[in-house]
Each structure stands twice: as C-alpha cells, then as structure tokens.
Amino acid sequence: MTDTKSVQASSAAAKSPGPEALLDIIRKEARYLEEQEGSVVPVIDPVKANALPLPVWDGELDPFPVKTVYHCYEFLIYDDIEFVINAYRGILQREPDESGLDRYTSLLRSEGENAKREILIELSSCEEGIARKVRVDGLGWDIWERKIPGWPWYAYPIKVVFSLLKSKLKNDQSFTLDNMLKQRIRQRKLNEFLADQQKQLAYIDGRSGDIDISHQQIEQQVNSYRDELLLARQDMLLQQQRLNLLLEALETQVAAESSAVAPDPGLNKVELATHASGKLDTFYLAFENECRGEENEIRQQLGFYLDVVKANAVLNSERPLLDIGSGRGEWLGLLKEAGITASGVDISKVLADHCKKANLDVVLGDGIEHLKTLGDSSLGAVSAFHLIEHLPFDALFSLVEQAHRILVPGGQLIFETPNPENILVGSHTFYHDPTHRNPITPTLIDFLVRYLGFIDVKVERLHPYPEDAKVIGIDMLTQRFNGHFCGPQDFAVIATKPNS
C-alpha cells in the first residue's frame, strides 16, 4: 500500500475550513477535556524510548479494540512499536506491513512524542484510512496547524490565538494522557495479578489430588491402628479372665482357711470385698477413661473448687483435706500442685495403685470405714466427687454424719454428683455407669447436710451442655426446653461445720 503518497493527495484535495469551523473544533476539544478531569489518578511518567535499531517484534500486545470511532488518547498511551501496531490495527484494521512498521517506528524514535499525532493523521487521511471510515477525534488542532502556514497575512492574529489555545489544550491533554497511561498500567498489573492467581488455583487443584491421596493413606493407617487396638483389648480381656480365675482360687483358699482357723472376721471381710471388687477394677478404670473424660479434662473442671478450698481458713498441714473415692487422682493432683496438704481413700486397688504411681497419698479402703478411724475435729475439709450416687441412703447418711464429726469448726464439706434436673442426665447418661444406684437431687442433699448440722449450704450447678447442643430460639418455651435438656450436667453442694 502507498500510505504516504495517498496522504499527500488527500491533503491537497481537502478544502480549508473557515474560522467558525475552527471555533467549533475548539469547543468540542474543551468539552472533552472537562469530562476527563474527573478521572484523575496519581501521575507516573511514561518511559520514553531512545533511538534503537529497526524493530523486530515477536512479543504479545494487549488486546486492542476494533471500532469505528476512537479518541487519539486511545492510541497515544502506547509507545514505540506498540503504538505503531495498534494504530494500524485501529485505523486501517490490519497488521502493519514491514515497510510501514520500520518507517513509523524510526520516526517515533527520532522525533519523539510529537510524531505520534502526525502518524495518526497520515493513517487516517490516506486512501486506505478514508476507505475504512474510521474517525479519530482529538486531532483537529494538528490538522488545522498544518493548514495555517498557507493562510494570508491578515489571518496572523487568528494564528496567534490558535497557538495559545493549542498550547493550553496540549498541557491539559498531556495531563489526561498521563491519567489514561496510569489506568493502562494498573490494568496490566491487575491482569498479571489475575494470571498469577489462576496459576495458584491450578497449583491448589493439583495439590488437592495429593491431599486426597494422603487422606486415604491416613485412613488406612488409622484402620490399621484400630485393628491393633482391638487385638490388644482382646488380649487384655484374656489376661483379665486369667486374673479372675486366680482371684476365685484365692477366695476359695481364704474361705477354707477361715473355716479351719478363726482369724479376725473384720479383716477377712475387707480382704474378700477387696478381692471381689478386683474383678471389675480394671474394667472400671477403662470405663472412666472412655466415658467420664480424659484426666486433663476432669482436672480443668475440678479447677472450680481450688478457689473454694483456698478460702478455707482452717485447712492446713495439721488439719488436711481428705478426698473420699479419689478415683484417678485428678483432684489430689491439683491440690498438690497448689501446695495444699491432702490425702485420699479409694476402695479400688487398681485406682489406688494408679494414684500411688503419680506420687499421691491414697490408701486402699472403704471411705466411711476410714472416716470412723479418724479422731474428732481432725480434718479441715472432706470432698467426694461422683461418689454419693453410688451409695444406699443409709450409707450416705452415715457419710455426712461422720464428716461432720471429724471436721474442725469452720471445716468444709464438698460433694459433686450428676444433676438429675437435667432430663438427659437423669434419664440417660446417669445410667452409663452400672455402679450408680439412683440420682441424688439438690433438694435432698441440701436438706440432709443441714439436718446433720452443717450451715452456709450452697448448691452450685456446673458443666452445662455446649451452646451448639441447644435449640435455637429466644422465646420462653425454647429457653425452658434448653434449661431442662441442655442445662448443668452436675451440681455441687458446699457446706461448713459451724463453730458451735
């Protein structure tokens, strides 16, 4: 194509517009610049290309829209070879030929930014550009400037005014052009960011397959451990059966000896009870680990009572605390860490040995019988956690009676037991433990300790179900339902022996 020759021909054929047409172009340019003032962003100076060898372009350009009307700013925001390529794509709607690309790129690198408008005018005014009927707004000043040198001498004042207005508008155009360039740079960075995000998503999708494989491997490993645990439990049951046989043989031997020799009947009774309970001791320890909770969890729950005993003025090393039914020793461990002198008693040999291994002072025996061996006013506090629900009422009565006797004035009695006010506890979870007899209500234990001489009786309701177990709602019916079914699972009674 002969672009430059056709430009000269079309320029010569064009008629010179009058002053009214010139003023109309000025007004349009001014309105356009006013509309652009609202989209100002921080200015970043574009990088100017220095004179370089003729271009060899093998990169990728941003997509350039093909339409019939442009503003020159849409081209001016590009530089160097990218400007030339997009000018051809927009105005002539094709890729540049090799000669045009070389010529215009060399022109840009030698004359700088001023050559951009000349190139746009030439492409728009050439024969091919006119045939494409693509209009480029914002070039009116430059077209008029090319025609002014041919005006007569008396048009000189108009030429001066024209130069001043052009200078002012070019400054404004430069500012607007910088803003458009910033937007383009920002858009390019955004596109790069989105491309990086797509790569990250692709990587995550790829890794998700690896995670699925790892999850399957973990499940297989867990199943393997579960099988090993099942075998270990079966072996434990076998060992327990062997132990039961030995205990039965021992019972038979003790019974034979008791018929031949008449030792202390009370001692034989304690030994036989201990041997009989030994059949279930291992089971009960495993049951507590499984159903009551891990030791650390129980220690956290029992932490509530530390503040209670720390406020006890009569509790000291000479008048210590006695914990009846010490179980796994969580409460005694907390007291030991807090520097409070305490000991325990438990009827289970397995549990008593478990406590002794933790260096806790626990003796094997019946709690009530142990209290009967202690002198009056010898203890500062007596505690029993989840014990009283195991006792018949006459034993519970005796326990409270003995506790009142051996406590010094000001000493504390602390009991914790499942709360039957919670319907799920009273009708279901209470009976998980086969050694439970019947639930103890707060009303009963409160009256009993007061009846047997304790004062300052407090009932503390503890350990409600978590919030996510409750029915959602704020009406009275929902609140009452949650109170009965999701309320405190345990309650404590705390009482004091009076001074007189």
Please tell me the distance from the alpha carbon of residue 170 to that of residue 177, in angstroms, as a whole number.
10
* Residue 229: inside a domain: no
Q: Provide the pLDDT confidence category of residue 349 given band limits of 50, 70 and 90.
A: confident
Tokens of 183: 């937007």
pLDDT tens digits for 142-178? 666 665 555 555 555 655 665 655 565 555 555 555 5
Please tell me the distance from the alpha carbon of residue 162 to that of residue 154, in angstroms, as a whole number.
14
* Maximum Cα–Cα distance across the chain: 152
Q: Provide the pLDDT confidence category of residue 129 given band limits of 50, 70 and 90.
A: confident
* Residue 480: inside a domain: yes
Q: Which of 200, 248, 188, 227 is nearest to 61 (CA)?
A: 188
Please tell me the distance from the alpha carbon of residue 23 to that of residue 28, in angstroms, as a whole number.
9
- What is the pLDDT, as a whole number, of residue 81? 85
Q: Are residues 459 and 311 in the same domain?
A: yes
Q: Provide the pLDDT confidence category of residue 448 given band limits of 50, 70 and 90.
A: very high
Q: Provide the pLDDT confidence category of residue 242 given band limits of 50, 70 and 90.
A: low
Q: Provide the pLDDT confidence category of residue 34 given band limits of 50, 70 and 90.
A: low
DSSP string, 175-229: HHHHHHHHHHHHHHHHHHHHHHHHHHHHHHHHHHHHHHHHHHHHHHHHHHHHHHH
State the total domains in the chain: 2
Q: Are residues 142 and 38 in the same domain?
A: yes
Long-range contacts of 387-394 (CB under 8 A, 24+ apart): 387/324, 387/325, 387/415, 387/417, 388/415, 388/417, 388/440, 388/445, 389/417, 389/418, 389/430, 389/436, 389/437, 389/438, 389/439, 389/440, 390/325, 390/435, 390/436, 390/437, 391/437, 392/437
> Dihedral, CA atoms, 129, 130, 131, 133, nearest 10 degrees?
90
Last residue of a domain, one of 161, 179, 197: 197
Q: Are residues 158 and 296 in the same domain?
A: no
pLDDT(42) > 50 = no
For residue 318, give every residue at least 6 positions away whose Cβ sits within 8 Å of its Cβ, in sequence order, or none.
none
* Residue 456: inside a domain: yes
- What is the pLDDT, as a whole number, of residue 146? 62
- What is the pLDDT, as a whole number, of residue 354? 86
Please tell me the distance from the alpha carbon of residue 345 to that of residue 95, in angstroms, as a whole number.
97
- Between these two residues, 440 and 94, which has the higher pLDDT value? 440
Q: Provide the pLDDT confidence category of residue 30 given band limits of 50, 70 and 90.
A: low
* Residue 174: inside a domain: yes
pLDDT tens digits for 51-105? 445 444 444 555 677 788 888 778 887 888 888 888 888 888 888 888 888 888 8
Last residue of a domain, one of 197, 219, 245: 197
* Residue 282: inside a domain: no
- What is the pLDDT, as a whole number, of residue 259? 64
Q: Are residues 492 and 349 in the same domain?
A: yes
Tell me the pTM. 0.47
Q: Are residues 318 and 184 in the same domain?
A: no
* CATH number of the domain enclosing 402: 3.40.50.150
Q: Are residues 367 and 481 in the same domain?
A: yes
Q: Are residues 165 and 295 in the same domain?
A: no
- Between these two residues, 299 and 397, which has the higher pLDDT value? 397
Contact between residue 497 and residue 467 where contact means Cβ atoms under 8 Å apart: no
Q: Which of 226, 201, 408, 206 is nearest to 316 (CA)?
A: 408
* Residue 267: inside a domain: no
How many Cα atoms are found within 13 Å in the side-chain-facing hemisphere of 2? 5
* Residue 271: inside a domain: no
Q: Are residues 319 and 182 in the same domain?
A: no
Range of the domain at 145: 3-197
For residue 275, give every residue at least 6 positions away whose Cβ sits within 8 Å of its Cβ, in sequence order, or none.
247, 250, 251, 254
Last residue of a domain, one of 177, 197, 217: 197
Rg (CA), the chain: 48
